[in-house]
């Protein structure tokens, strides 16, 4: 219990709203891959929505430093996660966790556009 709670003073918490029209968006014109940053652009946690067009790829991401973790959940479509050369096929609703100190990429696994949510946690590094 904090001192403020003990004496009955409520602590003010920071609230940041990221409006849809103010999201940071990265588009790769060559592959059509789109990355939308859903969280504020500060801090050690990134909340992202990625969209991979039918038959396309995110492209290769280099390894992060040791201790960085990623969590993904497929919103729509089928996703092939290639982590350090090892492939994992995910369907809608499937989730994945991995230590991202390996090269990695995300491919649409067919059947139409794929979208997924990704959380990158850099706190452990």
% of the chain exceeding 70 in pLDDT:
89
At 83, list the tokens: 């982590």
Tens digit of each residue's pLDDT (9 = 90 or more) over 106-123: 999 998 999 999 999 998
Tens digit of each residue's pLDDT (9 = 90 or more) over 24-39: 999 999 999 999 999 9
Residue pair 47/119 in contact (Cβ under 8 Å)? The answer is: yes
Residue 112 lies in a domain: yes
Model pTM score: 0.85
The structural domain count of the chain equals: 1
- Domain with residue 111: its CATH number is 2.60.120.10
Residue 50 lies in a domain: yes
At 64, list the tokens: 């992060």
Helix residue ranges, H only, the chain: 3-6
Q: Which domain holds residue 109?
A: 18-121
Residue appearing with tokens 């990623």: 70
Residue 29 lies in a domain: yes
Residue 64 lies in a domain: yes
């Amino acid at each position: 219990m904090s001192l403020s709670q003990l004496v009955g003073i409520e602590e003010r918490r920071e609230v940041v709203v990221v409006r849809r029209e103010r999201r940071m968006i990265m588009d790769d014109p060559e592959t059509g891959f789109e990355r939308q940053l859903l969280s504020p652009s500060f801090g050690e946690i990134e909340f992202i929505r990625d969209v991979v067009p039918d038959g396309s790829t995110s492209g290769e991401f280099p390894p992060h430093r040791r201790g960085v973790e990623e969590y993904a959940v497929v919103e729509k479509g089928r996703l092939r996660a290639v982590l350090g050369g090892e492939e994992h096929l995910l369907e809608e609703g499937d989730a994945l966790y991995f230590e991202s100190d390996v090269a990695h990429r995300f491919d649409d696994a067919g059947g139409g556009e794929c979208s997924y949510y990704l959380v990158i946690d850099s706190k452990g590094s």
